[in-house]
Structure 1
Amino acid sequence: MAGIYIHIPFCKKACHYCNFHFSTSQEKMPAMVEAIKKEAALNRNYLAEEIATIYFGGGTPSLLKEEDIRQIIGQLKMLFEVAADAEITLEANPDDITETTAAAWKAAGVNRLSIGIQSFFEDDLRWMNRAHNAQQALNAVRTAQQLGFRNITIDLIYGTPYLTDAMWLQNIETALALGVPHLSCYALTVEPKTALAKMISTHQAEDVDADKQARHFSLLTERLRSAGFEHYEISNFAKPGMRSRHNSSYWLGRPYMGLGPSAHSFNGKNRQWNIANNSLYLASIEKGIVPFEEEVLTNTQHLNEYIMIGLRTSEGISVSALAEKSGSNLVEKVMAAAAKHMQRGHLVLTGDRLTLTEEGKFLADGIAADLFVET
C-alpha cells in the first residue's frame, strides 16, 4: 500500500512561524493544477502498489476551486490503482470552509479534513498572522460536521509566548467539546528565515520558553489520555480507529509519491524532492521533465531513519528489526546508547520494543540522535 501527497503552494497570508514552500500570489494556481496533473502522468510508473491514501497539503489546498480538486482526484484514479476505501485528506483553513465548499469537497471524494485552527484565541491568531478568526475556527468544524464529515483532525500550536497554561487548557477543552476524533498538536518552533525568527532576533517578539512548552505538552498528553485519545505519535492523538492512515504510512516507512513544487517522494530505497520554486517547476513540467533531486539512502541512513521515526510512535522500535537492518554489533551500540536514557526514565524496553516514556517524548529528537549509528 502506498500514498500520494499533493503540495499546493499558495496561501492568503504568510504565517509568522511557517517555513513551508508557498506563495501569497495565486496568479499561477490554474497553471499549477494542470502541472500537477501532468506530473502525475509523467510519474505513473513510480508506484507499483495500490494507493491507500491521497493527501492535499501545502500551503493552503482549500484555496483550490472545487472543480480542481475533483479533477486531480479523477486524474489520480485514472493513472493509479486507488483503493475503494482510500483515505483522501484535504488540509483546509477555517475561513475557506462553508456549506458550499465542504459539500463540493465531499462530492469530489474528500473524506477527511485537516483543519488548521492553531488556536481558538483571537489575540493568539493575530500574533501568528493567521487568515481566520476565532469564530471562524468554531464555525468551520461545526459546518464540516453538519455536511457529513466524521473524519476530522484539527491542528493546534502550544508554547507561544502569550499562551498561558489556562489558555492552552481552554484550547484543548474547546477541541474536545467540538467532538473531533483526531488532534495534531505542535510546539511552536522558530525556523530560520521566517518572520518569527526575525521578530525574535530584533526583540520584537519573545523567544520560546522550553520549560513552558514542556509544561504544555504534559498538560496536553494527560488531558487527552483521560478523554480516551491514543497518543500514537509525538504530535498526534486519535480516538481508537481514527489514526491518520496517510501519516502512519510515512512512519511505517511505506512508499509514497509527492506531486507539486517542494514535494518529497520515497520508493523504499531512494528519496527525491521537487524543486521549491513555482516558476521553475511549471517551466520544467511544461517541457515534460520533473525537476527533482535524488538521494540514494545508505543502509546506515535507513537505520537512523527507522530509529528517528520509530521512536516518535507509540509502537517504538523493534530490537529484532534493528538487528535485521544493521547486524548484532551495531545493535549493541544502539542499546548501549539507549541504556543511559533508560536509567533516566526516558526510554523503556518491553519485550522486543524500545519506546519513549511520557517524560522522554518531549526529548524525542535528542534521544534519537544519541541512538544514531555513525557511518
Structure 2
Amino acid sequence: MAGIYIHIPFCKQACHYCDFHFSTSAKYKDEMVDALVKEVSLQKGYLGNETVETIYFGGGTPSVLSADEIIRIINTITELHTVTADAEITLEANPDDLDRQKINALRHTPVNRFSIGIQSFFDEDLQWMNRVHRAKEAEASIKRAQDAGFENITADLIYGYPLLTDTKWKQNLYKIFELGIPHISAYSMTVEPQTALAAFISKKKQAPMNEGQSANQFNLMLDAMQSNGFEQYEISNFCRPGHYSRHNSNYWRGVKYLGIGPSAHSFNGDNRQWNIANNAKYISSVNLNTIPAEIEILTETNRLNEYIMTALRTIWGLDLDKLNSIAPGASNEVLKAAKPYFEDGSLLQNDHILTLSPKGKLYADIITSNIFF
C-alpha cells in the first residue's frame, strides 16, 4: 500500500508563523494544476506497483481549488495507479473557503475527509496569527460540513503562544469536543526562521514563546483528550477509536508515498526526493518533462534513524526486531544509548517495543536525536 500527497502552493495571505511553501498570488493557478496533473504522469513509476490507499491535498490552502480541479487531479491518479475503493481522500481547508456552495460542490468529488485549519476559536488569537477566518466562521464551517454528510473531519489547533491562557486553551479543546470532531491535530507554536513571527521577536515587537507554557498546555491537553475518549496515537495527533488519519499514519510507519507539486517530498524505501520550492521553476521544469527534484539514496544509517524518528512518536512504538531487520545488532546500540531515558522514566519497554512515556513526549526530539546512529 502507498499514499500520494498533492501540494497546492496558494494561500490568500501569509500566517505569521508559517514557513511552508506557498504564494499569496493565484495568478498561475491554472498552469499549476496542469503541471500537477503532468507530474502525476511523469512520476507514475516511483511507487512501483503499490496500490494507493490514501490521497492527501495539502499546502498552502488546497480548498482554493475548484471541485472540477480536484476531480481532474484525482481522475489522473486513478487512471495511472490502482486506488482502493475505500481510499481515504483528504482535503486541507480553511474555514473561510467552506461556504455552503463550496461544500455542496465537494460532495460531488471523491473527497471524503476534511482537515480544517481552525487554530483557535478566539478572534484576537486568529488576528495575532494573521489568519483569514474568524471564530464564527470556524464553528460554522464545521457544522456546514457535518450537515452535508462529511463525518470524517480533523481540526487543527495551536497552543503555547502568548495570547493563549490555559482557560482559553481548555475552551478551544472543549469546543472541538462539543462539535463532535473525531480527530484533532494540535501543535505547539514554533518560531521558524524567515517568518513574520521570527522577525517580530528579533525586533522585540513580540515576546519569545514560553517553553513552560507550552509544556503545561500540552499536559492540560493530554488530560482533556483522555477524559473525552481520545487516543493519542502520535505526539500531536488524537482521535476517537477508529478515526486515525490513515495517510499520516503511513508516514510514521514507513509506508511508501509520492509527493506531487512544488516542495513536495517522496519516499519509496530506497530513496527520498523533494521537489524544488519555486512555483515558476516547478511549472517550467514539468513542462519540459523533467521532474524538478533532488534525490537522496538512503543508507543503512539513514533508514535506521528515519525509523527511530518516526516510530517513537507513535502509540505503536519502536520495534527492536524491525531495527535488527534493517541492521543486525542495531537494537543493542539503541538500548545502550537509551539507558538514561529508561532510568528517568522517559522511555518504556514492553518486550521488544519501546515507547515514550507522557514525560518523554515532552522531549521527543531530544531523545530521538540522542539515540540516533
Same fold per TM (> 0.5)? Answer: yes
CA–CA distance in structure 1, aligned partners of residues 269 and 67 of structure 2: 33
Alignment of 1:169-248 (within 5 A): 169-248=170-249
Q: 2:146 maps to which residue?
A: 145
Task: Measure, in 2, the Cα distance between the counterparts of 1:320 and 1:197.
Answer: 42
Q: Which residue of 2 aligns with 1:43?
A: 43
TM-score (structure 1 length as normaliser): 0.98
Q: Structure 1: which 4+ aligned runs deviate by more than 3 Å?
A: none
Supply the distance in 2 between the matched residues of 1:183 and 1:331 (Cα, whole angstroms).
33
Distance 2:104 2:312 in 1: 38
Instruction: Give the Cα–Cα distance (whole angstroms) in 2 for the partners of residues 102 and 79 of structure 1.
Output: 27
Report the 3-state secondary structure (helix = DSSP H, G, I; strand = E; otherwise coil) of the residue aligned with 1:37.
helix
Percent of aligned pairs sharing the same letter:
52
- 1:293-347 per-residue CA deviation (whole Å, 9 max, x = no partner) reads 000010011001100100000111011212222222x322210121111111111
Whole-angstrom CA distance in 2 between matches of 1:334 and 1:72? 43
1:75 maps to which residue? Answer: 76
RMSD, aligned CA: 0.7
CA–CA separation in structure 2 for the residues paired with 1:46 and 1:322: 25
Distance 1:254 1:302 in 2: 13
In structure 1, the partner of 2:102 is 101
Amino acid at match of 1:15: C
- State the Cα deviation string for residues 158-178 of structure 1 (Å, max 9, x = none): 001110011101100111000
SS in 2 for 1:237: strand
Match of 1:272 in 2: 273
SS in 2 for 1:272: strand
Shift of the alpha carbon at 1:100? 1.5
CA distance in 1, matches of 2:333, 2:83: 42
1:7-22 correspondence runs (5 A)? 7-22=7-22
What are the within-5 Å matches in structure 2 for residues 1-375 of structure 1? 1-47=1-47, 48-328=49-329, 330-373=330-373
SS in 1 for 2:132: coil
User: Shift of residue 204 of structure 1?
Assistant: 0.8
Write the deviation string for residues 157-198 of structure 1: whole angstroms up to 9, x where unpaired: 000111001110110011100000000000001001111100
Shift of 1:288: 1.1
Aligned residues: 372
CA distance, structure 1, for counterparts of residue 292 and residue 167 of structure 2? 47
What do residues 41-73 of structure 1 show as CA deviations (whole Å, max 9, x unaligned)?
A: 111122221100000000000001111011111
Partners of 1:46 and 1:324 in 2: CA distance: 24
Distance 1:356 1:44 in 2: 38
Q: Aligned to 1:219, what secondary structure does the other structure show? A: helix
User: What SS does structure 2 have at the residue aligned with 1:107?
Assistant: coil
Letter of the 1:120 counterpart? F
Give unmatched runs, 5+ long, in structure 2.
Answer: none
CA distance in 2, matches of 1:249, 1:207: 34
**TM-score, length-normalised on structure 2?**
0.99
